[in-house]
Structure 1
Amino acid sequence: MITLKSSREIEGMRKSGAILAGVHLGLRNLIRPGLSTWEIEKFARQYIESHGAVASQIGFDGYKYATCISVNSEVAHGIPRRGLNLKNGDIVKVDMCVEYDGYQSDSCWTYAVGKVSAEIQKLMGVTKKALYLGIDQAVIGNRIGDIGHAIQTYAEDENGFGDIRTLIGHGIQPSIHEEPAIPHYGEAGRGLRLREGMTITIEPMIVTGSWQLATKVVPHDTWRYYVTADGSPAAQYEHTLAITKDGPKILTSQDSKADVKYL
């Protein structure tokens, strides 16, 4: 079911999103070669809980952790691992959800570990711009296909990268996964029409190779996560946003220049 949020509810989600954004800002200084992905999990959980919030991925579909951490060709749903230390040239995606006073937020960011290759730098830049091109289309009266079309055209047609089809964005609030589905590919002018008060995530996952995915199982566990089928690296950026009469409002803003126009 799709619910339209009041200005009070959107403000509550923004407060939740500010806590989540604070984690990402802290990770900019924390992530470095040699760091264990478990240290990322510990930092995120401590930050969230110290701000009176809850890491709302914990317990969702049986998940055990505050963060999903995916490295290099791991696309999504990777878990924090004590034995996985980051290396110079890696890229790491950190995805998390926060609940604060009953309000949800969801955001993923990609981080370069040390010095990365020119190809990885381009991948990260294209993926981040694809996110904001999708957000530009999130206005009252547009359709969901307008979001996906903007992302797909930029990533695939203009830059020759793969645009993941299997994993998509979604509505959010009161739970972390609500209707509608928000694909990052599609046809302009097609799909559900966007209405004031809708709250959604846009979270493109872009790869240097094929968009086809495979799954792996965590050793000594039953948790499955996604990797690129051809081993190519993947990047992801995600914001939670509200559709408002003044345009899209980013609720997980880190106050970057790209965010400023939406505040």
Structure 2
Amino acid sequence: MITIKSAREIEKMAASGAVLAGVHKGLRDIIKPGISSWEIERFANRYIAEHGATPSEKGFEGYKYATCVSVNDEVAHAIPRKELILKNGDIVKVDMTVNLDGFESDSCWSYAVGEVSDDVKHLMDVTKKALYLGIDQATVGNRIGDIGHAIQDFVENKNHMGDVRELIGHGIQPTMHEQPNVPHYGEAGHGLRLREGMTITIEPMVNLGTWEISSKMTPDDSWEYYVSADGSLSAQYEHTLVITKDGPKILTSQDPDFDAKYLL
């Protein structure tokens, strides 16, 4: 069921989103060559708790952690690991969901580790731009397909990269995964019509090579995660947003100057 949020609910979701954005801002100083991906998990847990919130991913379908930390060709849902030491040139994606007073927010960000290649910089730039092109289509009266078409056209036709199909955005609140599904591919003018008060995530995942992905299991067979099928590098950016009569408004912004036109 798709729920239309009240002004109060949106305000509460924005407060949750501010906590989540704070984690991502803090990670800019944490992520560097020589740390383990477990240090990302530890920082996120501490920051979320200090701000009176809880990590929604912990305990979801048996997941044990506050964050998903996916490195290089890992597309999504990889676990934080003490033995995984980040090195110069890596790209790391940190995805997490925060609950504050019963209100959810969801965001993923890609981080360059030390000095990265031109390919990594270009991949990150394209993926972030794709996110905002999708957000620009999230207006009252547009359709879900308008979001996906804008992302797919930019990623595949204009930049010849792989636009992941299997993992998609979604509605959010009262739980972290609600209807509607929000694919990052599709046909303009098709799909569910967007209405004022809907809250969704847009979260394109882009591979340098093929759009196809493969699943892998952790060594103890306790968790499934995804890698690019051809071993190419992957990036992801995600925001939680609300559809308003004044356009899409981002609830997980890390940069008020950059996102000025998207703020409540």
TM-score for both structures, normalised by structure 2? 0.99
For 1:260, the equivalent position in structure 2 comes to 260
Read off the aligned partner of 1:92 and give its amino acid letter.
V
Q: Deviations over 1:10-30 (max 9, x none)?
A: 000000000000000000011
Read off the aligned partner of 2:197 and give its amino acid letter.
G
SS in 1 for 2:15: helix
Check if 1:17 corresponds to 2:17: yes
For 2:236, the equivalent position in structure 1 comes to 236
Mapping of residues 197-212 of structure 1, within 5 Å: 197-212=197-212
Mapping of residues 142-221 of structure 1, within 5 Å: 142-221=142-221
Mapping of residues 66-215 of structure 1, within 5 Å: 66-215=66-215
For 2:49, the equivalent position in structure 1 comes to 49
Q: Deviations over 1:83-110 (max 9, x none)?
A: 0000100000000000001100000000
For residue 257 of structure 1, report the CA deviation from its aligned partner: 4.0
Read off the aligned partner of 1:245 and give its amino acid letter.
K
For residue 220 of structure 1, report the CA deviation from its aligned partner: 1.8
For 1:61, the equivalent position in structure 2 comes to 61
Q: Quick one: distance in 1 between partners of 2:221 and 2:189?
A: 43
Q: Quick one: distance in 1 between partners of 2:223 and 2:109?
A: 22
For 1:38, the equivalent position in structure 2 comes to 38
Q: Quick one: distance in 2 between partners of 1:252 and 1:146?
A: 22
Any stretches of 5+ residues in structure 1 without a counterpart?
none
For residue 221 of structure 1, report the CA deviation from its aligned partner: 3.5
Q: Which runs of 4+ in 1 moved over 2 A?
A: none
Query: What's the % identity of the aligned pairs?
Result: 70
Q: Quick one: distance in 1 between partners of 2:189 and 2:258?
A: 25
Report the count of equivalent residues: 263
Check if 1:27 corresponds to 2:27: yes
Q: Quick one: distance in 2 between partners of 1:222 and 1:231?
A: 22
Q: Quick one: distance in 2 between partners of 1:94 and 1:40?
A: 8
Q: Quick one: distance in 1 between partners of 2:220 and 2:154?
A: 40
For residue 256 of structure 1, report the CA deviation from its aligned partner: 5.0
SS in 2 for 1:261: helix
Cα 1:256–1:227 change in 2 (3 A) is farther
For residue 116 of structure 1, report the CA deviation from its aligned partner: 0.5
Q: Quick one: distance in 2 between partners of 1:196 and 1:206?
A: 29
Read off the aligned partner of 1:79 and give its amino acid letter.
I
RMSD between superposed Cα atoms in Å:
0.7
Q: Deviations over 1:27-54 (max 9, x none)?
A: 0011000110000000001000110000
Q: Quick one: distance in 2 between partners of 1:183 and 1:258?
A: 25
For residue 222 of structure 1, report the CA deviation from its aligned partner: 1.8
**Residues 109 and 238, structure 1, Cα contact 8 Å, conserved in 2:** yes
For residue 68 of structure 1, report the CA deviation from its aligned partner: 0.3
Any stretches of 5+ residues in structure 2 without a counterpart?
none
Q: Quick one: distance in 1 between partners of 2:133 and 2:258?
A: 10
Q: Deviations over 1:133-154 (max 9, x none)?
A: 0000000000000000000000
**Residues 132 and 258, structure 1, Cα contact 8 Å, conserved in 2:** no
SS in 2 for 1:87: coil
Cα 1:52–1:238 change in 2 (3 A) is same
Q: Greater CA deviation, 213-222 or 166-175? A: 213-222
